[in-house]
Structure 1
Amino acid sequence: MTGVFINYRTGDGQDMAVLLNERLRDVFGKERVFLDSTGLPAGHHFPPELKRRLRDSHVLLVLLGRQWLDLQDSEGNRRIDNRKDYVRYEIRKSIKWKKVVLPVLLDGASLPNAEDLPPDIARLSEFQFRHLRSREADNDLAEIVAVLRQHIPVRQRPSQGPSRSTTNSAKTRRGVAVAGDNSSGTYNDNRSVPPVRRPPQPGEDE
Structure 2
Amino acid sequence: MPRVFLSFRKRDSRWMRERVYRALSDRLGAEEIFKSSESIPPGADFAEVLVNQAAECKLMCVLIGPEWLDARNEDGVRLLDRDHDWVRLEIATALRAGNRVVPVLLGDATMLPGPSELPVEIAELGRLQCLRVPETHLPDGLEQLGDQLAALLTGAATGPGPGAAPAEEPGPPATMTAHVSGGGSAYQAARDQTINLA
TM-score with structure 1 length normalisation? 0.73
1:34 corresponds in structure 2 to 34
| Correspondence 1:58-73 to 2 at 5 A | 58-73=58-73
Is 1:74 aligned to residue 61 of structure 2? no
CA distance in 2, matches of 1:115, 1:9: 20
Contact 1:60 1:101 (8 Å CA) reproduced: yes
Contact 1:8 1:14 (8 Å CA) reproduced: no
Query: Which deviations, in whole Å up to 9, do the C-alpha atoms of 1:158-202 show, x marking residues without a partner?
Result: xxxxxxxxx423x4xxxxxxxxxx448xxx8459xxxxxxxxxxx
Corresponding residue SS for 1:102: strand
Flag the 1:48–1:70 CA change in 2: closer, same or farther, 3 A.
same
Give the C-alpha shift of residue 55 in structure 1: 2.3
Instruction: Tell me the amino acid that sits aligned with residue 116 of structure 1.
Output: E
Flag the 1:183–1:9 CA change in 2: closer, same or farther, 3 A.
farther
CA distance in 2, matches of 1:183, 1:14: 34
Contact 2:50 2:90 (8 Å CA) reproduced: no
Is 1:132 aligned to residue 119 of structure 2? no
Is 1:168 aligned to residue 147 of structure 2? no
Q: What percentage of residue pairs aligned between the two structures are identical? A: 28
Q: Which sections of structure 1, spanning at least 5 residues, go unmatched?
A: 153-166, 172-181, 192-206
Query: Which deviations, in whole Å up to 9, do the C-alpha atoms of 1:121-152 show, x marking residues without a partner?
Result: 11111111111122211111122112111233
Instruction: Tell me the amino acid that sits aligned with residue 24 of structure 1.
Output: L
Flag the 1:119–1:183 CA change in 2: closer, same or farther, 3 A.
farther
Q: Which sections of structure 2, spanning at least 5 residues, go unmatched?
A: 161-190
Give the C-alpha shift of residue 32 in structure 1: 0.7
Report how many residues are paired: 164
Corresponding residue SS for 1:150: helix
| Correspondence 1:108-187 to 2 at 5 A | 108-152=109-153, 167-169=154-156, 171=157, 182-183=158-159
Higher strand fraction: Structure 1 or Structure 2? 2
CA distance in 2, matches of 1:72, 1:93: 22
Flag the 1:183–1:11 CA change in 2: closer, same or farther, 3 A.
farther
Q: Which has the larger radius of gyration?
A: 2
Is 1:56 aligned to residue 43 of structure 2? no
Instruction: Tell me the amino acid that sits aligned with residue 149 of structure 1.
Output: A
Is 1:90 aligned to residue 90 of structure 2? yes
CA distance in 1, matches of 2:77, 2:64: 18
Contact 2:54 2:91 (8 Å CA) reproduced: no
